[in-house]
Each structure stands twice: as structure tokens, then as C-alpha cells.
Amino acid sequence: MTQSLRELLLRRLNQAFWLFLLMSLAGWGAWRFSRLATPANEPMPTNRIDQEFQQLHLQSITSLDSSVNQLRLAVMSGESETVLLALTEQLRQQAQEVALLSSSRETVLAPHSSVIQPLLLDQCQQFRQLLHRKASVRLLSQHLAEFQSQVRHLQYRVAGNDHP
């Protein structure tokens, strides 16, 4: 009887050992699996897309600002009306790009940017009209300064520095 009791005890001990080993492996596997999940402090893909969109938007605004500067210098240096009209068309296209980016971004980030689209394009149209009316260099330069001020204000808002 002691022999069968000993065998039964060894079998139970053997079963307990393997059960403990399997449970340990299962726990270790669960721990490893949980480490594969995305940590909470890692930025979500949506945030990355928003940041990339914001960078694209800021680049287009910076390009528009640079074009306004270029046009201002052309006005100050007395370039021909043909050159000024070509630069104005380039400026209009860039303003349209910025306006489209602003309007597509407005639903999420800047609810007041719906005003931007007509404002930027109106500024280009007004400048073209001033050119056709043969306005003075001072008046053209003043108009471009106001336009550039609006562009830089938009850049400030898009960069996230404006907290209404």
C-alpha cells in the first residue's frame, strides 16, 4: 500500500509540476502579448496626419508670404505691368491653395477660417484692379502690406499661437 500511495503522490506531483509550468508559460505569453499593444503615450496616427497637414498648410502660407514679398519688391523696383500681372497670377494661385487648405481644415481646427478664402482671393483681385487703374507705387505697396499682414496673421493662427 505504501508503494501505490508513493506512485499516486509522484503522479500528482508530476501533474502539479507540469500544470505550474504551463501556467507560467501562459502568464509569460500574456505578459509578452500585452507589451505588443501600442503604449498610451505614443501619438495616434490621426494626430500625425493632423500635424503633417498643418505642416503642409504652414508651408503653403510661407510660400504665399514669400510671393507677396517678391511682388512688393517688383512693385518697388518699377517692374513692368506684364511682370506684375504674372506675379499677381502666381500669387492668386497660391492664395487659392491656402484658402482651400484653410477651408478643409476649418471643420476640425479653425471654425473662423471660412472667411479666409474670399478674403485672400479678394485681395488678389483688388491688386489686379489697382494695376489696371495705374495706381501709384505707394498705393500698390500699401495694399500688399495689408495683404501680407493678413497672410502672416493666418500663419500665426495655423501655427497654433492663437487661442481664442
What mean pLDDT is predicted for residues 64-70? 89
Torsion of CA 37, 39, 43, 44, to 10 degrees: 30
Instruction: Say whether both 74 and 147 belong to one domain.
Output: yes
Please, are residues 144 and 127 in contact by the beta-carbon 8 Å criterion?
yes
Instruction: Say whether both 122 and 87 belong to one domain.
Output: yes
pLDDT at 16: 93
Instruction: Say whether both 75 and 153 belong to one domain.
Output: yes
Instruction: Say whether both 32 and 88 belong to one domain.
Output: no
Instruction: Say whether both 114 and 71 belong to one domain.
Output: yes
**Helix, strand or coil for residue 1?**
coil
Instruction: Say whether both 30 and 52 belong to one domain.
Output: no
pLDDT at 43: 56
Instruction: Say whether both 93 and 149 belong to one domain.
Output: yes
Is residue 164, in this structure, part of any structural domain at all?
no
Q: Which of 20-24, 37-41, 126-130 has the highest mean pLDDT?
A: 20-24
Please write the tens of the pLDDT for every residue from 111-131: 444 555 567 788 888 888 888
Question: DSSP secondary structure string, the chain?
Answer: -HHHHHHHHHHHHHHHHHHHHHHHHHHHHHHHHHHHSPPTTSPPHHHHHHHHHHHHHHHHHHHHHHHHHHHHHHHHTT--HHHHHHHHHHHHHHHHHHHHHHHHHTTTT-TTGGGHHHHHHHHHHHHHHHHHTT--HHHHHHHHHHHHHHHHHHHHHHTT----
Res. 38 pLDDT band, cuts 50 70 90 = low
Percent of the chain with pLDDT over 70: 82
42 has a pLDDT exceeding 60:
no
Instruction: Say whether both 64 and 142 belong to one domain.
Output: yes
pLDDT at 105: 61
Whole-prediction pTM: 0.63
Instruction: Say whether both 82 and 117 belong to one domain.
Output: yes
Q: Which domain holds residue 8?
A: 1-39
Lowest mean pLDDT among 49-58, 109-118, 140-149, 153-162: 109-118
Instruction: Say whether both 8 and 66 belong to one domain.
Output: no
Query: CATH code at 61?
Result: 1.20.120.230
